Amino acid sequence: SFRRWLQQLAKIDVLVLDDWGIGHLDAATRADLLEVIDDRVGQRATIIAHQLPIEHWHAWLGDPTVADAIL
């Protein structure tokens, strides 16, 4: 299930999110991404590999509140 997959991601010591910024994020995907990152904060390392400059993340994420939470 999707919930089990999220729990597995939370247990990985170093999670690498590659190709950050490619494609469009809908509201459900933004929420899932925030949940993955939020579950790992202070417990596991997360590396984001991207070609999208950080100053464009708010526009790409499409939700200022989610963007602030991720950044």
Per-residue pLDDT of the chain (71 residues; tens, 9 = 90+): 888 988 898 889 999 999 877 788 888 988 888 998 998 889 999 998 888 888 888 888 888 888 888 88
Alpha helices, DSSP H, located in the chain: 2-11, 27-40, 57-61, 64-70
Q: Could you give the CA distance from residue 7 to residue 21 in angstroms, rounded to a whole number? A: 23
Any idea where the domains of the chain sit in the sequence?
2-70
pLDDT value of position 51: 84
Let me know: does 17 contact 49? Beta carbons within 8 Å. Answer: yes
Cα within 13 Å of Cα(15), Cβ side? 19
Class of the domain covering 2-70: alpha beta
Q: Which of 9, 14, 8, 20 is nearest to 48 (CA)?
A: 20
Q: State pTM to two decimals.
A: 0.75
